[in-house]
Structure 1
């Protein structure tokens, strides 16, 4: 991984959809506004945009931490812009600060993400190991 410039920033802009509102499945719909778990997804996606231009051939990133402090609502149809800013790069660990703002200029959330940059072959091998364990588990419990 190449060094990322201090305060490097990327943005992700999304339009809130009905699918992105709070619905807990078994518990049903709760609030007709942008859900915290969707904000977490968008924080991770914006954080990934921080590392992509600096990955070297054969490298991949994997998320390890997301912090979301959800401070306000956004309605379906509203645009939310998530701004990710590099806060630290410690070897292969990349930390980014997050801020979510609606098209009205209201901050509706902030937080952070952490990603690890590893050889993609190592990431893939870890997933294959898990798949093999899962296959053995489901076979033994059938």
Structure 2
């Protein structure tokens, strides 16, 4: 990772919640999810927070590099129906080499729906994919 990512960097990510990002869509094979209300799922909120952090980091990556989420510590405090727009505000709190930590906060225009912390680690995709392939072969699930 380039040394240009520094603590204090901020970014806002905006996303309109579609009909297919509700709790029943998260795991269609899970009956308990199917009987829940059609509101923005916590799992999708976590992904949205990661996406916002990736957007902030992207200009600071070397060619062939990407980041992996390594920690998520957030709450989800308000339901959001499809059609509302969520703003995710992220702030880089700390950078140590390839590791970075962020404060994340999501708001749907009416309520703060979630906030907390997220950490990411930069990797070279080719090396990462090779390690995953080796693991799959070792487990006997490689094609």
Structure 1 length normalisation: TM-score? 0.85
CA distance in 2, matches of 1:92, 1:53: 14
Q: Does 1:6 align with 2:7?
A: yes
Q: How many residues align?
A: 137
Matches within 5 A, 1:39-118: 39-104=45-110, 106-118=111-123
Measured after TM superposition, the shift of residue 101 of structure 1 is 0.6
Summarize deviations over 1:65-122 as a string: whole Å, max 9, x none.
1222011121111000111110111111111111001123x21110221111122222
Root mean square deviation of aligned Cα: 1.9
Summarize deviations over 1:47-74 as a string: whole Å, max 9, x none.
1112111001232211111222011121
CA distance in 1, matches of 2:22, 2:97: 37
Q: Can you give the 5+ residue segments of structure 1 that lack an aligned partner in the other structure?
A: none
CA distance in 1, matches of 2:20, 2:121: 30
Q: Can you give the 5+ residue segments of structure 2 that lack an aligned partner in the other structure?
A: none
Runs of 4+ in 1 over 3 A off after TM superposition: none
For the Cα contact (< 8 Å) 2:100–2:119, is it kept in 1? yes
Measured after TM superposition, the shift of residue 13 of structure 1 is 1.2
Q: Does 1:120 align with 2:121?
A: no
